[in-house]
Amino acid sequence: MVAGSPPPRAPDTPDTPATLPPVSASAPAPRPVLHIDAPASAAIEIDGFRIAPGTHNVPNIPGSHRVVATVPSPHGCSSARDESTVLVQDTGVTSVSLAPRSCGYVAPDISPAAATWSVLTASGGALAHGSGAGGDSALLPAGSHALEVSAPYCATYRAPVIVTSGHTTHVRVRLLCEPAHQ
């Protein structure tokens, strides 16, 4: 080929479609995977067998499995364990999210002695309650809650209380009452 001359042309061919190699209709199906999403500190069990803590992808276990995540917490903390029974499909990814929460304590110091207290969820459900001028404490899931204190002839007190995992939150409340009932 001489510099500056056009490239050679391909020979004329009839307008026939190109023949491609056949594609296998039976490509291997993706293997089953159980994806477990859990806190890094959570001990994970599948059907009673402990695996490493935190989030995992566990291959090749189709069928029904009980998955449990547990975080370190004071004894008696019901929120420290989260569990689910999952059906892992024969192919693809099946996911489960577990959210165990550790616990801490709230120790209200309230006055007057006739007052009662409740620790409430965000929706207003009672998590714990007590009465009297102290001594009671409650084991609660870590996080933000509301403390409500009330007594006859007194203004009701309600404020947020933050429960910290493994610690005791002391809260002192003195209600404002009518003078004859202080």
- Cβ-Cβ contacts under 8 Å for 70 (sequence gap 6 or more): 42, 43, 45, 80, 81, 82, 100
User: Distance between CA 69 and CA 65 in Å, rounded?
Assistant: 13
In tens digits, the chain (182 residues) has pLDDT values of 555 555 555 555 555 555 555 555 566 667 899 999 999 999 999 999 999 898 889 998 999 999 999 999 999 999 999 999 999 999 999 999 999 999 999 999 999 988 999 999 888 889 999 987 666 789 999 999 999 999 999 999 999 999 999 999 999 999 999 987 55
Contact (Cβ atoms closer than 8 angstroms) between residue 132 and residue 40: no
- What the chain holds in terms of domains, given with CATH numbers, is 33-97 (no CATH), 103-181 (2.60.40.10)
The half-sphere exposure of 160 on its side-chain side, counting CA atoms within 13 A, is 6
Burial class (CB in 10 A: 0-12, 13-18, 19+), 110: buried
Task: Report whether 113 contacts 149 (CB < 8 A).
Answer: no
Q: What is the pTM (predicted TM-score) of this model?
A: 0.71
